[in-house]
Structure 1
């Protein structure tokens, strides 16, 4: 009943709205949260579904009638995926599900189309350097650009390349150099954000002292460029493969994880054997494969850079990386 005919009790709706508004008011308390949200706006555009964020105004406008209408339009058997796992008799379970949901009438569901990303900074031919000034002792750095979708044949190679750069925390280049050797960052790394409904992103991040912001950023960009200039070592390639294969088994550690991953694959329209293809593709990757995708998909000369911190403390101006924009932090941002 809660799924098919929720009550949306007015008092509970108002309680949820107040809690959401309070959470928005507290957003400025988290510098990392600011960096994440503002970077997504720069990457996808502030009005794009992948970059847009809720505001006190938008949450306050929501009515119970809006929730009822949204549920009526999108919560229907035609738009849901149900996963069941455990020790049961399959025919008996299917019979029980039909009895439970049999009266719930299906109707066509058309999800809103996700528009293309048109943010000028994301599609630019040069770096976009952005500073959001906050009175902090540390600087939160975000560096990156749009990337490929998860169903792209090159996704597997780029994912492994990201592990070598900064994904495998203790063995990655960024960790060993920027953090351990130079002592520039408390945390540093990279990750490939898979694109499904829209484009993905290749992201580097770091938390550094204000007085080492420029040097940390320069080192991150140098490592990104180095991947384009020369192949990774044999040891790096094998270590990254081993780490991936060792972690791969944990994707199937229990029945709940398995059914959850299968549901995600179906939701995003990926083949059921996608994870096995991922594993098989990673095993076959060569240094030449990684160099090719690095040159094709990594663009340190066209990245979006965001620094959240006290720019007066930066040891050098970030204008050496490109023209700087100072971003305002809107209330509740």
Structure 2
């Protein structure tokens, strides 16, 4: 076991030194007999493989059982009828493999990293397929995961940032499934049972509702063999119905929440962008100039450097299956919260009205283009991007043409897209901190 762990660490350090340019990432695609979509990139220089399964089974699929997606994801680490959770972990560790699961708003993720030494990789894949074919959902482990989820909710109530984020999504998305808090609600968590998790798994963790990304030191033939083993282990089933579109906002809403903190946490934003939207490139550059570019962004200069109103301030776009948020976040002293919110709104209105200038566009473009290769710096980076591409059904040339598409954005187009897609008069604003 020690030898496997040492070798894994050495391979990981090597991986960090072997970044691939986007042009070198040649993506192959196929579908298994059971209907599982597969994206594969060969990385023969490293004796390791990364696998990522993505399923349309995140918190947006909870329905009224808030927290079910998260508990189902964690339950996959509880073992099978043949292996309990400790035995499962020991079996992966004995061959230097890393197994993990996660659940987000859009997707559920199952990941495996293994060395490609045949016996070790075979054990790792065999163990993974055992979990996928027959997860046990044992009562004791499920109850422990439920207690941990409830404790997580309690900790979130004591964190002003979490309080702000939860309410921000509730106000922004209303009745849309994106309003579901991934960690769930106390009442719904207490009502869930292992049978609910099993039903959720059998409905959403299916070949027709998922995709597999593979990268590493495997040939195409070897990758197909691994994909076939995983596909055969999964439940078969159809894709989930697409999420409903998010209704565009047409008026502002603001909510202040008392909280015994020295800092006020402020979130402002609105639904904005689907993954795969052609406006992604223009809006990414516009946002980079406004608040996504760190020390060089307008928000940092105007809100922090010039006026000293925020400890931190930034903006981001988060494209999702339905319209994901444009989100501004900042922290400031509670006695400066009103002034900071006013300054933020003024900056947003100016950005929308005046747009980005030519100098800002070129600085943003240079930063985004030059940093893009870093997103391909390791196997885990590549498999993450492949998983995202497969889940959102992005074209196979997405990585290859990313820089080209960023370089093709023109100033007039950027500012037109900014004015069309971002409405400063329809923002959700949540301020958490301070007491009357």
Per the TM superposition, whether the score is higher than 0.5 is yes
Q: Is the 8 A contact 2:210 2:391 kept in 1?
A: no
Aligned to 1:183: 308
> 1:3, CA displacement in angstroms?
1.4
> 1:245, CA displacement in angstroms?
0.8
Aligned to 1:272: 396
**Which residue, out of 180, 192, 195, partners 1:62?**
192
SS of structure 2 residue aligned to 1:16? helix
Residues 20 and 288 (structure 1), Cα distance of their counterparts in 2 relative to 1, 3 Å cut? same
The 5 Å alignment of 1:1-333 reads 1-45=130-174, 47-53=175-181, 54-95=184-225, 97-98=227-228, 100-101=229-230, 104=233, 107-117=236-246, 123=249, 125-195=250-320, 197-310=321-434, 312=436
Distance 1:101 1:290 in 2: 43
Provide, for residues 261-320 of structure 1, a one-character-per-residue CA deviation record: whole Å limited to 9, x for no partner. Answer: 1221111111122234432222122322222122212221221111111264xxxxxxxx
SS of structure 2 residue aligned to 1:269? coil
Q: Is the 8 A contact 1:231 1:288 kept in 2?
A: no
SS of structure 1 residue aligned to 2:213? coil
- Which one scores higher on RCO, CA 8 angstroms, separation ≥ 6? 1
Distance 1:58 1:159 in 2: 37
Distance 2:407 2:360 in 1: 14
Distance 2:298 2:304 in 1: 9
The TM-score normalised by the length of structure 1 is 0.85
> 1:173, CA displacement in angstroms?
0.5
Distance 2:164 2:414 in 1: 29
> 1:112, CA displacement in angstroms?
4.4
Provide, for residues 176-223 of structure 1, a one-character-per-residue CA deviation record: whole Å limited to 9, x for no partner. Answer: 11011110000001111113x211221111101112112211221111
Q: Is the 8 A contact 1:227 1:291 kept in 2?
A: no
SS of structure 1 residue aligned to 2:166? helix
Distance 1:30 1:133 in 2: 12
> 1:113, CA displacement in angstroms?
4.1
Residues 214 and 105 (structure 1), Cα distance of their counterparts in 2 relative to 1, 3 Å cut? closer
Residues 5 and 287 (structure 1), Cα distance of their counterparts in 2 relative to 1, 3 Å cut? same
Q: Is the 8 A contact 1:43 1:51 kept in 2?
A: yes
The TM-score normalised by the length of structure 2 is 0.66
Aligned to 1:324: none
Distance 1:73 1:264 in 2: 21
> 1:106, CA displacement in angstroms?
5.5
Structure 1, unmatched stretches of 5+, are 313-333
SS of structure 2 residue aligned to 1:184? coil
- The structure with the greater share of residues assigned to strand is 2
SS of structure 1 residue aligned to 2:311? strand
Structure 2, unmatched stretches of 5+, are 1-129
* Matched pairs, number: 305
SS of structure 1 residue aligned to 2:179? coil
Q: Is the 8 A contact 2:262 2:434 kept in 1?
A: yes
SS of structure 2 residue aligned to 1:95? helix
> 1:80, CA displacement in angstroms?
3.2
SS of structure 2 residue aligned to 1:202? strand
Q: Is the 8 A contact 2:202 2:235 kept in 1?
A: no
Q: Is the 8 A contact 1:78 1:106 kept in 2?
A: no
Cα RMSD between the aligned structures? 2.0
> 1:60, CA displacement in angstroms?
1.3
Distance 1:286 1:258 in 2: 29
